[in-house]
Structure 1
Amino acid sequence: MGWTGLICFCYFLLALEVFGLPGISHPVSIAIESYGMLEILWYLFWFLPYKSYLQKPGIRLEPMTRAQRRAMIRSLLNTVPDILIFLRGWFAKAHLDEIYREDVMDWMLWALWGTESFEGVDMEEMDEYIQEAEIKAGSRLRPGRGGAKPIRVNIDPVKMVHRSLLFYGLIGFLDVNAAIFMFFQGFSFWRQPRSNFFKVFPPRLQTLASLNASAAPEFSYFYRRHKCKRYRPIVFCHGIGIGLATYIPWLMTIPKDIGVLAIELLPVSGRICPEAASSSVFKEGMRKILSQQGIDDFVFVGHSYGTLLARPLLEDPVIEPMMNSMVLCDPVAILLHLPDVAYNMTRREPKTAPELEISWGAALDPRIAHTICRRLNWQEHYLLREHLIGRRTTAIVGSRDCVIHPDAVASYVYYGDVNYTSADVEEWKKTPEEWTGRGELELYYLYDRDHGQSLLIPNESVQITEVVEKYCRIDGGPDPKLGAKDVDTPEPPPKHPARSHFSVLTDSNMV
C-alpha cells in the first residue's frame, strides 16, 4: 500500500496498543490517520488499476525491409565489444549454458521484427543473422531452448513502484517554484491547452496562469528570447527525473544573450499525465515550436533520455538543416543496441547510491517506466557514426556512468570502434583539455563521474556550458582556450601514439 500509508497504519496500531482510544483520538493522531487513509485509498483505487492500465501494448515497430534489417544487424554487430557478453546482457546476465539457439531467435523476433510471433517471419533470413552472430562469437549455439529469457523491453511486463501523494505533492511544489524562478530569470512559459490542467497530476498552476500557448499542444516549454546575432540559440531536451527543475543551475550558467528553448517532457518527469508522443508527433510538434519562435539555426543539447530524441530530429527533412551542432550528455542513444541501458533501466537490482537514484528515483516511476517500455522502439532512436557525421557533435561521457557502457561509447566516439583497452582511458582523460569544438565527432570524457553528474556538479556544468557556447558562436571569434586563433582556421586534430583519433575536421561552413 506504499510506505507512507503503511507507516501511518503502523502508527495507528502502535498508538492503539500503547495509549488506547485516547491515543488514536488525539488531534495529531487523527491527522496522521486521515492522511494514512488517503494514501491507502490512493494505492488501492488509483495505483493498482493504473499499473494494470500501463501494461497495454505500446507503439509498434515500423516494418523494415529485409535489406534494412540486414544492413542494421551487420552495422550493429560490428560495434559489439564482445558478442558473448552482448548475448548474456540481453538475457539478463544468464549463463551462456542457458542460452540456446531458439532463445536467441526469440530475442531477434523482438529486435528486428518487433514481435514475439514467428508468423510472417522468413526463417531463412533469421538463420542468416544467427549464423553471422555465431561467426563473430567463434562458436555455435546449441539447438533448442535452454530456459534463458531475453529482455524484450516493449513486450515484457512494465515494472514500476508506487508513488505516494506526498511524493506528488513535493513534485508539484518544486514544479511551481521552478516556473517562478525561471520567470524571474527571463524565461517565458508556453503552456499546453488549458484543458490539459485536468489531465496532469500534480496540477500545474502555470498552465492556467500563462498567456502564451504552445503551437504544439502535446508539449509545453520554457523560452528565453535570443538577443545576440553572433550566437545561435539552444534547443534543450532533458532526461528522466523530475523535469527541468534539476537543470536550473546549469541553465543559469548560459549567457543571457543566448536564447534557450527548453522542451518539457512530462511523461519522463515524475508525473501522471498523457502518454509520451510518438516520434512522428514529436517531430511535427518541434517544427511548430521552432517556427513559433522563429528559430532556424540552433545547437541541440540533449541529456540522457533527451539524446534519444536527436535521431528523430536528424531524420526530419525540415529540422535537420537547422541543427548546426549537437552536445550529447550521458548519451544513452549512442550504441543503444548494447544491452547495458535496457538491463540497467529494467532489470538491475541497485547496489549503489547512483544505481538506486536511477532505479527508484526515475526508471521505476509509473509513467517513466511506461514511456521507456511502451513508447520507445530502440531501433528508431539508436545513434551510430553514420547518424552523426555532417555536423559538429560532442559526446560527454562519465567514466563511471551506471546506465550506459561508458568505455564502449567513449571508444566508439574517440576511435570509431569498440576495440578499446584500459590504456585508452589515459588518452580519454585528456579530452577536456584537448577538446577544440572543430571536430566532426569529439569526446569529452569526465573521469570518475557518474550518470547525470556532468550537468549537476557545478565544476562540470560550467565546462559543459563552455562546450555549448563554443558551438553557439557564428562569427568565428577567438576561442578562449586557443588564445587569438580563429575557429575558421583549424589545426589538425591531436595525434596519439597508440591509435588514430577518429574525429575529422569540419568544413568552415559548419562553424
Structure 2
Amino acid sequence: MIADRDDRRRLFLRCHSNIPDPDRYLTKWFRDAPVAEIKRENVKDFFRWAFLNTGEPDPAYDEELEEYVGEMEKLLGRKLEPGRGDAQCLRLTLDKVEMLHRSLIWYLCVFIVDTLASIYLRFYSFDFHRTSLLQFLAVFPTRLLNLFNAYRSPARALTYWYRPHTSKTRLPVLFIHGIGVGLYMYIPFLADLNAQDSKDPSDGQVGIIAIEIMPISSRITSEAMLKDEMCEEVHCILKAHGWERFTLVSHSYGSVVATHLLHKPKIASKIGPILFVDPVSFLIHLPDVAYNFICRKPTNASEHLLSYFGAKDMGVAHTLFRRFIWSDNALWKEDIQHHRVAVVLAGRDIIVDTNTVRAYLTGTSDWSLETESWENGIWKGDGLDVLWFQDLDHGEVFSRRRTRKRLVDIVSRFTADE
C-alpha cells in the first residue's frame, strides 16, 4: 500500500484522468458483471484493494473511499446504486491464484527449447552467467549449463547471457524479456543486433546483457522477486561489468522490470535511450492487461495459447496474482520525459489496449484515433517515437524479419547516443 494519503490521492486522480470509457472500466474490472450488480459498496471493495491493497474494511479509510467513489460517479455521470450487488471485482493480490498443472512431457519440451536456445546463444558469442548450485537445484527443468559453465553471476538468483562490450563510442544494451520460454523467441533479434557490429568492426562490439526471469519462463522455481530485490540484482550485474550508461530494451512483461529500474534513482541515472516493445506498464490501471490474462474466455487460437501456456502457468500465475503490484508497475509519460524513447505497439494486440495507449502517448484527446495513417507508421514527438504495426499481434514484431529490422535499427541509433 502507498503509505501517504496525499500520494494515493495523486495516483487516483492521475488514473482517473486517463479512463476513456468509465462504464467499460468498471465492467471489466468486475469480470463482465452486469452494470446493475456493480453497486456502491462493490466499487468501494475495488478501490479498497486498488489503493489500500486490502480486502478488510477499516473505518479509518471510509472518508477516503467515499471521495474516490464520488469522483467515480462524476466520471460515470450517474449515481451508483447504494448497497452491494453480486459483482465480484478482480483483485490480483487477494484472489485465489488461478493456475493449471503441466505434464512432464511439457517440461521435457521446455528443456529441449532451453537447450536449443543455449546452443544458439553460444553460437552468437553470448556467455551464460550461472547462479550457485543451490539455486541450480531450485529450477526445473534442470539447466545443465549451471553445472558446466565457468562464469558466475554476481547476483544471488538472476542468471543472464552476456556479450562483452568493447565499443568506445556506443552504449551497451540491457535486454529484459517477457512471459514465455525465456530468451528463445528473441534469439533472431539478439543475433541481428550482433550482426550490426560486422558492418564496422573497427570500433569493437556493442555489449549485451540479456537477463533471464525464471518465474515467467515456464519453469518450476522460486517465486518472482519483488521490485526492490530485482533492482538490486540488476544493479549488482551492471556494477560487475562496469556499465555506467546503457540502452534499455524491454518486451511485454519486461516493461514492468524496466519501470522498476526507472523508479530507482541509482539505476535510472545510468539509463540512456529506451525501447519498449509491446509494453504492459503504460495505463496499467485500465483493466485490459489483467482481464485479458485472467478473466477472458478464449475465442481463437492466440487467446487459447495465451491462456493455457501463458496465464495459467504456475510461475506466471503466481507472479501475476502475488507479485504484480499494479501501483509499482505503472509507467507514466512523466517517468520517461528525460530519456530518448521509442514505443512499439501492435494493432491486433490481444493483451494491451494499444489504441488507448497510443492515444495517451501521442497526447491526443481522441481515444479512438483512426489508424489509416498509422499502418506500419511512426509518430514522432519531443524525444518520444511511437511505432504502430497495424496487422501484428503481441510479440509478432520479433518473428518477422522486416519488422524486426526496424527494432534493430532503433537500437543501433540508440546505442550511438553516447
Confirm or deny a common fold (TM above 0.5).
yes
**Residue 497 of structure 1 corresponds to which residue in structure 2?**
none
Q: List aligned pairs for 1:173-322, cutoff 5 A.
A: 173-254=112-193, 255-256=196-197, 257-322=205-270
Q: Is the 8 A contact 2:345 2:389 kept in 1?
A: yes
- Which residue, 455, 463, 472 being the options, matches 2:406? 463
The equivalent of 2:388 in structure 1 is: 445
Question: Which residue of structure 1 lines up, in the alignment, with residue 21 of structure 2?
Answer: 82
Deviations 1:145-199 (A, max 9, x none): 1110000011111111121101101111111221122112110110111222211
Whole-Å separation in 2 of the counterparts to 1:153 and 1:351:
23
Output the CA distance in 2 between the equivalents of 1:163 and 1:121.
Answer: 44
Find the aligned partners of 1:207 and 1:395 in 2 and give their Cα distance.
35
SS in 1 for 2:161: strand
1:431 equivalent to 2:377? Answer yes
1:276-331 Cα offsets, whole Å, 9 max, x none, are 11111011111110011111111111100000112211111211011111111111
- 188 and 468 in structure 1: CA distance in 2 versus 1, 3 angstrom threshold: same
Q: Is the 8 A contact 1:218 1:277 kept in 2?
A: no
Please say if 1:391 is aligned against 2:339.
Answer: yes
1:346 to 274, 278, 294: 294
- Does 1:376 find its partner at 2:324? yes
Could you tell me which of 361, 367, 374 is aligned with 1:413?
361
Matched letter for residue 455 of structure 1: F
The residue type equivalent to 1:419 in the other structure is D
Identity %: 34
Deviation at 1:96, TM superposition (A): 1.0
1:454 aligns with 2:402: no
1:344-366 deviations in whole A, cap 9, x for unaligned? 01111111121112111211101
Cα distance in 1 for partners of 2:47, 2:355 equals: 25
Q: For residues 224 and 365 of structure 2, what CA distance do their matches in structure 1 show?
A: 33
Which structure has the larger Rg?
1
Tell me, in whole angstroms, the C-alpha distance in 1 between the residues paired with 2:343 and 2:417.
21
Please give the TM-score of this superposition, normalised by the length of structure 1. 0.78
Quick one: which amino acid aligns to residue 88 of structure 2? K
Match of 2:104 among 157, 165, 169: 165
Alpha-carbon spacing, 1:121–1:386, altered in 2? closer, same or farther (3 Å): farther
Opposite residue 197 of structure 1, the aligned amino acid is: F
Secondary structure at the aligned position of 2:281 is classed as coil
SS in structure 2 at match of 1:370: helix
Distance 1:389 1:132, change over 3 A: same
The SS at the match of 2:74 is helix
Q: Does 1:93 align with 2:22?
A: no
Code of the aligned partner of 1:443: V
Offset at 1:74? Answer: 0.3
Aligned equivalents of 1:401, 1:314: Cα separation in 2? 25
Which sections of structure 2, spanning at least 5 residues, go unmatched?
Answer: 198-204
Q: Indicate the SS of the match to 2:243.
A: coil
SS of equivalent to 1:212: coil
* Secondary structure of 2:265's aligned partner: coil
For residue 429 of structure 1, report the CA deviation from its aligned partner.
2.9
CA distance in 1, matches of 2:405, 2:59: 53
Residue in 2 aligned with 1:35? none
* CA distance in 2 between partners of 1:265 and 1:430 (Å): 30
Alignment of 1:326 onto 2:265? no
- Secondary structure of the 1:213 match is coil
Shift in Å at residue 120 of structure 1?
5.5
Does the C-alpha gap of structure 1 residues 198 and 110 become closer, same or farther in structure 2, counting only changes over 3 Å? same
2:200 maps to: none
* Aligned partner of residue 42 in structure 2, secondary structure: helix
Tell me the distance in 1 between the aligned counterparts of 2:340 and 2:395.
Answer: 22
Give the Å deviation of 1:94: 1.4
User: What TM-score comes out, normalization by structure 2 length?
Assistant: 0.95
Shift of 1:430: 6.2
Residue 420 of structure 1 deviates from its aligned partner by 2.4
**Distance across 2 between alignment mates of 1:427 and 1:81:** 22
Between the aligned partners of 2:323 and 2:163, the Cα distance in structure 1 is 30
How many residue pairs get aligned? The number is 409
Amino acid paired to 2:408: T
